[in-house]
Amino acid sequence: MKTRKFLWLFLSLLIYVLPVNADIPGAASASEEAYLDGEMNIYLPCVGVSGLQYAVRLDLVSQEEKFRWKLGEQTVNNDFTWDNAISATLGSDLTLTIPSLRVGEQTYTLILARDSDEADPSGIYFKYLRHYARRADVGGFSDNHGTLSPYDQPVATPGAGRTLIAVYVVGSDLESRYGAATSDFNEMIAGYAGLTNPANLDVVIAFGGADRDGWRGMKFIDMPGLMEDGKDGV
């Protein structure tokens, strides 16, 4: 409840101090990217707050024990085209996430946490929390979301006259030490093979949870797949 009340007061203060049609020299414009200047002030062209967008400058006030910035010049910037890759966001816990901050020739994601100053209770402050290189700047990663292939709707199997058995098996140490679940699977395979009309029976098995190859995590298999896998007996 205190967090919600504090967030409401913070947002109210922010909206109150931001002139809707102001053109403030030095504030980030819609054409800029977020960057850190030579004095370590932060310029943000777009910060999403409660459905509105602001261009904001954070002024460095301390870098001794921790890096701290104070909310400086700002203006409403709803003309900025929102882009998740570069637009900063203020979370419900007042954490400010800057996904793309240019520092010289490098670009980082920077996370700032809400901070306070007893000498300036009306000021809005943020402190350094953590940073990391953008995935696109790290070998083997890309910020390209890619394109999903069209989804092919599977053909429904008529259920009339058929029986479905769903089995959930947690291997635990009974499998990793003694192979107990594997023995159960072998019994299921033998029973299924002895049916006079197995085509009318569908068996789906979810298994995992044992410290053994093939059993870590969760896996799913049907009876034909289990029979194929069980040919080696393990």
Question: Among residues 57, 23, 27, which one has the least CA distance to residue 40?
Answer: 57
Dihedral pair phi/psi, residue 175, rounded to 5°: -85, -45
User: Given this model, what pLDDT does residue 18 score?
Assistant: 37
User: Given this model, what pLDDT does residue 131 score?
Assistant: 85
Distance CA 149, CA 198 (A): 35
Q: Is 46 helix (H, G, I), strand (E, B) or coil?
A: strand
Q: Residue 72 corresponds to which amino acid?
A: G
Ordered DSSP codes for 83-150: -TTT-EEE-TT--EEEEEEEETTEEEEEEEEEE--TT-TTS-EEEEEEEEE-GGGSTT--S----PPP
User: Given this model, what pLDDT does residue 136 score?
Assistant: 55
| DSSP-assigned beta bridge partners for residue 125 | 70, 115
Distances from the Cα of 185 to the Cα of 121, 162, 170, 177, angstroms: 67, 22, 12, 16
User: Given this model, what pLDDT does residue 228 score?
Assistant: 87
Q: Is 38 helix (H, G, I), strand (E, B) or coil?
A: coil
Q: Where are the alpha helices (DSSP H) in the chain?
A: 2-17, 172-178, 180-193, 223-229
User: Given this model, what pLDDT does residue 137 score?
Assistant: 56
What are the tokens at 160?
């009339």
User: Given this model, what pLDDT does residue 7 score?
Assistant: 39
Residues 6 or more apart in contact with residue 219 via CB below 8 angstroms: 206, 207, 208
Residue pair 78/55 in contact (Cβ under 8 Å)? The answer is no
User: Given this model, what pLDDT does residue 2 score?
Assistant: 44
pLDDT in tens, the chain (234 residues): 444 444 344 434 443 333 333 333 344 444 468 888 888 899 988 888 877 888 889 999 988 778 899 998 888 877 777 777 788 888 878 889 888 888 877 788 889 999 988 899 889 999 998 888 765 555 554 555 455 555 566 677 677 778 889 999 998 888 888 888 988 998 999 999 888 888 888 899 999 888 888 888 888 889 888 888 887 766
Q: How many residues can be counted in the chain? A: 234
pTM of the full predicted structure? 0.47
User: Given this model, what pLDDT does residue 205 score?
Assistant: 92
220 Cα distance to chain centroid: 25
